[in-house]
């Protein structure tokens, strides 16, 4: 039972990883995933109230995990030049 719960929690955590979301469209902006995690955290915590704040630990764990993944992907981000503006990649639009 513990293994099943851990697998579900891990898959939920990875599905919401900001770094994976940002880098799925391409590379070119260092630490864009961590930046997206920071800017979207207040919105995500605010909307998690509908789910009794159960997702909050996953939302809070997203920032350090995104920072680690962004560090691993840093060489690719430094080599590749993105065609999009950083605001479009990170999505700095606030809560919608």
pLDDT in tens, 49-88: 777 777 778 788 888 888 888 899 999 888 988 777 766 6
pLDDT band at 22 (very low <50, low <70, confident <90, very high): confident
pLDDT in tens, 35-52: 888 888 887 777 777 777
How many CA atoms, within 13 angstroms, populate the side-chain half-sphere of residue 62? 31
* pTM beyond 0.85: no
**Per-residue model confidence (pLDDT) at position 96:** 58
Cα-only R_g, the chain: 14
Residue 42 dihedral angles phi and psi, to the nearest 5°:
-60, -35
- Average pLDDT value for residue range 10-26: 69
């Amino acid at each position: 039972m513990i293994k099943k719960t851990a697998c579900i929690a891990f898959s939920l955590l990875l599905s919401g990883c900001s770094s994976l979301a940002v880098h799925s469209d391409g590379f070119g902006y260092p630490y864009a995933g961590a930046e997206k995690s920071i800017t979207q955290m207040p919105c995500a915590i605010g909307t998690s109230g509908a789910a009794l704040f159960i997702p909050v630990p996953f939302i809070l764990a997203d920032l350090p995990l995104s920072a680690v993944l962004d560090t691993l992907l840093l060489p690719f981000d430094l080599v590749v030049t993105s065609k999009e503006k950083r605001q479009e990649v990170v999505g700095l639009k606030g809560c919608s």
